[in-house]
Structure 1
Amino acid sequence: MSSPQPETGLTLAGRYLVPFVLLSLLLWRKLVNDVVQEPYLDEVFHVGQAQAYWGNDWFHWDPKITTPPGLYVWSYILCAGLLLLQGSPKEVGVTELRSTNLAAAGFILPWRIQTLLDLLRKERNTRASGAWLSHTVLNICLFPPLFFFSGLYYTDLLAVLVVIEAYIWDTKRSDSNGLKKTVGGALRGHASLQTFTFLAIGCIALVFRQTNIFWVSVFMGGLEVVRTIRQNTKSCENTGPLDIISKSFQAELYDPLVAEASLFDYFKTSLSLACAALSQLPLIVASIIPHLIILAAFGAFVLWNGSVVLGHKEFHTASIHIPQMLYIWPYFIFFSWPLILIAVINVIIPRRFLPKVFDYRLSNHRRFPGILTALAVTPLMLAAVHFNTIVHPFTLADNRHYVFYVFRLLTRHHPAVKYAIVPIYFLCAWAVLASFGFFSTPAPKVKFAPLPTEQDTAPAQLESEKLSKRKEKEAKRQQKKQASKQQPTTKKTTKSITAKEKEQQQQQPTQVLTPELLAKIQAHVLQRQQQRDQEQIRVSFVLIWLAATTLSLITAPLVEPRYFIIPWVLWRVHLPRQQTPEVFRRQQQQSESSGVEPFKAQIFTALPQIMETVWFLIINAVTGYAFLYKGFEWPQEPGMVQRFMW
């Protein structure tokens, strides 16, 4: 992590740039409403259903809608509130309903992402680090698929927002539970309220999208399991699989940092987590009761409905579609290459060929995937492509979506193309997962000697007292000598001088390092070390994130860029902060520059985020222009404008 820098005009600009650039959401909505005045594509179904609810027809349901009615209830609440406050709208059309989406995108989403980042990073938005956090918020809100659908009446934005809200309350709940154990249960009522709030929001998340169950229950529940295990175990220093299994049953956990882990470490961490969870099963179950309740509620809904989706069941039957976990990695790299490129260059290019402003001293670390890793993973990817590639009928039947052109390239030009691209899947997956640890700086482990007992410190205290008495006697002798050399004017003056010197001596007592004081020092150092460790991404987090992502994707036969939004957002909020380049760190340690170098240091430190912002703005401008002004017609539907979209 980069060293903290003073507040400057550049960091202030980074902070205040957020609300200014988010005005582009208002511009995007206005352009969409001006050019596309009628509901487009899936908006036809969503707008019609929302209008039925606005007319208080609560039992009407369009059989072509697959997702639950959370979006329509949200719009009803907002529009009803406006009706009470200002007497409008009397009727809701596509313009009013799109505005309810914009309210979530432009106001609520940035605020809640900022809150989540503050909770995860344990940093407030009052220092130079606040500019980095705010810039992260800005880039997440500008993420092209998220930005694009903020101007239309789709469910995706609200589905992301409610998952973020659930994550916020689950994190607060976990922090309160940990603090409650520390202070002896004084915060029991507060923690219970937060648990109930999380439970309510977790259930509400399922009303916006069914796949949210994997994030609210699996992802957040898995993180809670790891937190519970870590609170009751110590770090396992063994590296052999059999030793790790044995130690995991003895209150030890093997969970290295991503920056230090190999592929084999992921298997060993999985074994350690499973064994540690079995050894603490009652405690684990008690910690995830809210997540289990949400999972049970979802199971009851599926039993009642007879399927996961509400409508169009014949086209959205659950199936196993493993290549979804291959498509996600180029998707991440396409959008987030500015955050990954510099780190990858540092890993693969020797330092002597790197420009100084791009040297982060990463090339000294072994982070490039080994040959054995490639030989182990690539055949599995090839098998998934060969046996499980699914092309949904909707994918190659609708040339309005960008996925249509991607799959036509993969499946229609040559049969070998889909196999030849597997190495790209592998390298992209490595870069995305390794990015969790590229800029992590492991904190040095502090080892303490055993605390001394009272018997050990008794001789030291006696010796200290003797030394203090000797110093006091020596001071008195020196005072007598000084008094004999000088002619005091009065006894009163001599007495006052002597009293003043005694007072100064009393103000300089000799402090003894007692066991209690030493214990407090050690506790403070350990607390700082644990706080630093929490900021580092460990293998257990990556495993849980991968499990939730896999479950949410492989059950969907249709490949949609919208399905990858939540995995990307949660990946993005957990990325470590980019460090200051080595050349500027060295200058900061030597001396404080006049102002030119700090400015350059801040520019090059924030360069990946700046590039990400520019890249997102370019994509949004191009896709927005194509959607609005590059429409075309289908021969079978003359006079109707078809538009390109995600």
Structure 2
Amino acid sequence: MGRLAVAAAVAAWAVPVAALVNSVVPDPYMDEIFHVPQAQRYCRGEFLVWDPMITTPPGLYYVSLAYLASLFPGAWAIKVAEAFDPLCTTALLRSTNVMMAMVCGVLVHDLLLCIKPGIGKRKATAYAIIVALYPVHWFFTFLYYTDVASLAAVLAMYLFCLKKRFWVSAMFGAISILFRQTNIIWMLFFAANGAITYVQDLPVSDYVSHKNSILTDKSSTEVLNRDNTASAPGLRRRRTNSSITQRRVVSGSTNLHISFIEEVLDISFKLWNSKSKVLLHFTPFAIVLVVFVAFIFWNGGIVLGAKEAHVVSPHFAQFLYFGLVSAAALLPLHFTPRRVSELFRGCAKNKTSSSLAMLVALGLSFVAVHFFSIAHPYLLADNRHYTFYIWRKVIQAHWMMKYILVPIYVYSWFSVIDILGKSQTRVWVLSFVFAVALVLMPAPLVEFRYYTIPLVIVVLNSPIIGNCRLLALGSAYTGADLFTLVMFLFKPFHWEHETGTQRFIW
């Protein structure tokens, strides 16, 4: 029932808004001037014709063909090349993302129930609807871009990895790369943490010697019985012990808090001693990775077209921007007096290490902002993006402004990491931060839509917000959505066509 409610709620606002957008903006808009004609070529059966300005693989176009075939099965049965051409209108192609937005909502609902079993279906439904209203994701639901379908594929990959259906997860990983190449990073992130969870759920006897196994089973049984978590005699014991608990039982230590190095060594020990099983179950991810590396060598880079405009650059400031955007997206969790005092109290408990970490973070952030803030030509020229106004009216308002924002960036990242650390292991949090860096730092263009996938992962793994705060967040999202829609439909933009691209007049 929860899935149906989410899909119905998303459709309730997506369908009429999509109709309004198509009536006011019937022609291809922004990057649609490249994607729509390319999809229409595929509708005519011209699969070998490619627009050199398109940087992403053709996954979205294949999904659109399948989607149109499901809507018009008779046209598919008659003759694809001729019958499909008049059906591939801009409006119908855009509706592909409306369907993908509904799929995203359902996947978020299922992921919440999987990650947080105690959340309840009603709360999971409300959360999924709120995520669907996130302004950046919401806006691109009505345009023919790759972002919504890319998010759907990544979320499906995440869900099946959590369910330990690794072959299906790897399949969706391959599909996600067909929408956006950087999704290879998220596939590796899910696969790595899936492997860690897999070995932690194995019986202790699978990665310790026979002698230690007898001692461990006996000790584990005593601990489980004492904690009232063991099952009745003859039934298989639960395998929900964390790696920390299992390591504590084996070593005989009573210390519940182990160091990060010990955690890494514990995981490495288990992975090494269960390597044959890990390789067997996670081979499909390795196959996808090998094929992707072969593609990079064949293509001469990660992007398909317009390589001169998407050169890999050390854009370290991009990493800082995401911290602020992700914290602002969950405003009730991060920017409240209670949260600020809670974070500083936590730092006060370990003054030396926390002060050192804070100083290092501030120092590196100032260096990143001063030397590695990139103003891409598209950012400076295109006044149809929020980032255009944020860059000119905020960051460039005064030469000191970009430095004034650094403490806010650092606070945001510290808060996000602290929040994630309450529900995930330190290895998981560190690997997530590393994955975000790999995805965002090489990108010279500042685009909020690049943040959508890691942002949704943060939302899924953050604590549950109370009903009042959730309602306030949903209201804020809705207000931002309506403002974006009004600006999109009624603000005049002027541009010139110049060598196949658009040069905007400000």
What range describes the TM-score normalised by the shorter chain of this pair?
0.7 to 0.9
Deviation at 1:421, TM superposition (A): 1.6
CA contact (8 A) 2:6 2:105 kept: no
Is 1:97 matched up with 2:93? yes
Following TM superposition, by how much is the alpha carbon of 1:274 offset from its aligned partner in structure 2, in angstroms?
5.3
Change (3 A) 1:394 1:274: farther
TM-aligned CA deviation for residue 109 of structure 1: 2.0
Check conservation: 1:324, 1:559, Cα contact below 8 A.
yes
1:253-272 alignment runs, 5 A limit = 269=263
1:78-125 Cα offsets, whole Å, 9 max, x none, are 11222215898643110111112211113x2222222222222335xx
- Among candidates 431, 436, 444, match of residue 557 of structure 1: 444
Question: Offset of 1:573 from its aligned partner?
Answer: 1.3
- Counterpart pick for 2:337 among 341, 345, 355: 345
Amino acid at match of 2:454: P
Q: Deviations over 1:258-294 (max 9, x none)?
A: xx99xxx667655665566566655554453222111
Q: Structure 2 residue aligned with 1:77, among 44, 66, 81?
A: 66
Distance 1:302 1:273, change over 3 A: same
3-state SS of the aligned residue for 1:632?
Answer: coil
Q: What is the distance in 1 between the residues matched to 2:198 and 2:115?
A: 17
Shift of 1:229: 4.3
Q: Which runs of 5+ in 2 are unaligned?
A: 77-82, 205-215, 217-242
Q: Is the 8 A contact 1:626 1:643 kept in 2?
A: no
Cα distance change of structure 1 residues 72 and 547 upon mapping to structure 2, 3 Å threshold: same
Q: How many residues align?
A: 451
TM-score normalized with structure 2 length = 0.79
Q: Does 1:608 align with 2:469?
A: yes
Superposed CA offset, 1:203-226 (max 9, x none): 11111110110111x211221232
**Could you say which structure has the larger radius of gyration?**
1
Judged with a 3 Å threshold, the aligned counterparts in structure 2 of structure 1 residues 635 and 41 are, in CA distance, closer, same or farther, namely closer
2:105 paired with 1:110: yes
CA distance in 1: counterparts of 2:344 and 2:52, whole angstroms: 58
Partner AA of 1:204 in structure 2: I
Q: Deviations over 1:498-528 (max 9, x none)?
A: xxxxxxxxxxxxxxxxxxxxxxxxxxxxxxx
SS of equivalent to 1:66: coil
Q: Percent identity?
A: 31
Q: Which of 376, 401, 404 matches 1:417?
A: 401
Pairing of 1:47-446 with structure 2 (within 5 A): 47-84=36-73, 90-106=86-102, 108-122=103-117, 129-172=120-163, 174=164, 194-216=165-187, 218-231=188-201, 269=263, 273=267, 277=271, 284-341=278-335, 344-348=336-340, 366=346, 370-409=354-393, 412-436=396-420
Q: Is the 8 A contact 1:400 1:643 kept in 2?
A: no
Query: Distance in 2 between the 1:292 and 1:14 partners?
Result: 32
CA distance in 1, matches of 2:279, 2:446: 35
Q: Secondary structure at the match of 2:375?
A: coil
CA deviation profile, 1:520-543 (whole Å, cap 9, x unmatched): xxxxxxxxxxxxxxxx32222212
Question: What is the DSSP-based 3-state SS (H/G/I as helix, E as strand, rest coil) of the residue aligned with 2:315?
Answer: coil
Match 1:566 to one of 447, 453, 457: 453
Q: CA separation in 2, counterparts of 1:17 and 1:74?
A: 22
Q: Structure 1 residues 214, 24: closer, same or farther in 2, change over 3 A? A: same
1:29, distance to aligned residue in structure 2 (A): 0.4
How many angstroms apart in 1 are the aligned matches of 2:2 and 2:356? 47
Q: Secondary structure at the match of 1:566?
A: helix
Q: 1:102 and 1:380, CA in 2 relative to 1: closer, same or farther beyond 3 A? A: same
Q: CA deviation at 1:387?
A: 2.8
Contact 2:32 2:144 in 1 (8 A): yes
Q: Counterpart of 2:120 in 1: which secondary structure?
A: helix
* Distance change (3 Å), C-alpha of 1:13 and 1:115: closer
1:28 paired residue number = 17
SS of the residue aligned with 1:366?
helix
Q: CA deviation at 1:606?
A: 0.8
- Alignment RMSD (CA, Å): 3.7
SS at match of 2:30: coil
Q: Distance in 1 between matches of 2:448 and 2:60?
A: 19
TM-score, scaled to structure 1:
0.63
| C-alpha deviation, 1:335, in angstroms | 2.2
| Alpha-carbon offset, residue 200 of structure 1 | 2.2
Q: Where do 5+ consecutive residues of structure 1 fail to align?
A: 1-11, 175-193, 235-243, 350-361, 441-535, 579-604
CA contact (8 A) 1:627 1:643 kept: no
Contact 1:326/1:425 (8 A) holds in 2: yes
**Residue by residue, what CA displacement relative to the aligned partner does 1:532-587 show, whole Å, maximum 9, x if unpaired?**
xxxx3222221222122111111211111110000011111122224xxxxxxxxx
